[in-house]
């Protein structure tokens, strides 16, 4: 069953589809299907959905730029900005921006978790450790690939 079919099912009967999501044998988190079902509810065409989803790549670059500014304080911000645009060169990011996929959302949340981790290293405030953990857990839920970093962060916190 395609992602679009599952999103349509969510838009027509949310509770039933949510409770029987495992019967769809789909690799993606139900959050992506729920996100896409909002667009299905309003009958938006695929081009508009892709255009909206395409905005995640610039958001990812902005968050990455802010993260680089924390880590590399002595480097010229113009260089950091140019380096943060590297995501636009990645074929994976570009294709996932056009074809909605939970990995791009997970990747974006993972970068946010790194941002809060660096703030924690700088200021040693527990709120940054909690935010890091929250965003890492959310990114791991959307894309399990990022769950391995919980070990790295745990070792750093200990």
Among 5, 32, 9, 8, which Cα is nearest to 19's? 9
Question: Is pLDDT of 125 > 80?
Answer: yes
Task: Say what the pTM is.
Answer: 0.85
pLDDT digits (tens, 9 = 90+) for 25-69: 777 778 888 888 888 888 888 888 888 888 888 999 999 999 999
Q: What's the CA gap between 19 and 121, in Å, rounded? A: 41
pLDDT of res. 70: 96
pLDDT of res. 144: 87
Model confidence at 113, pLDDT cuts 50, 70, 90, reads very high
């Amino acid at each position: 069953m395609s992602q679009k079919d599952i999103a349509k099912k969510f838009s027509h009967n949310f509770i039933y589809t949510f409770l029987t999501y495992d019967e769809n044998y789909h690799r993606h988190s139900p959050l992506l299907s729920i996100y896409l079902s909002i667009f299905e509810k309003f009958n938006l065409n695929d081009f508009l959905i892709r255009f909206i989803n395409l905005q995640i790549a610039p958001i990812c670059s902005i968050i990455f730029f802010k993260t680089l500014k924390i880590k590399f304080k002595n480097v010229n911000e113009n260089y950091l900005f140019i380096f943060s645009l590297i995501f636009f060169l990645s074929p994976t990011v570009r294709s996932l921006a056009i074809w909605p996929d939970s990995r791009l959302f997970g990747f974006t949340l993972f970068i946010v978790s790194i941002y809060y981790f660096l703030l924690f290293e700088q200021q040693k405030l527990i709120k940054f450790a909690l935010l890091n953990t929250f965003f890492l857990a959310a990114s791991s839920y959307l894309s399990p690939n990022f769950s391995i970093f919980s070990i790295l962060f745990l070792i750093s916190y200990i």
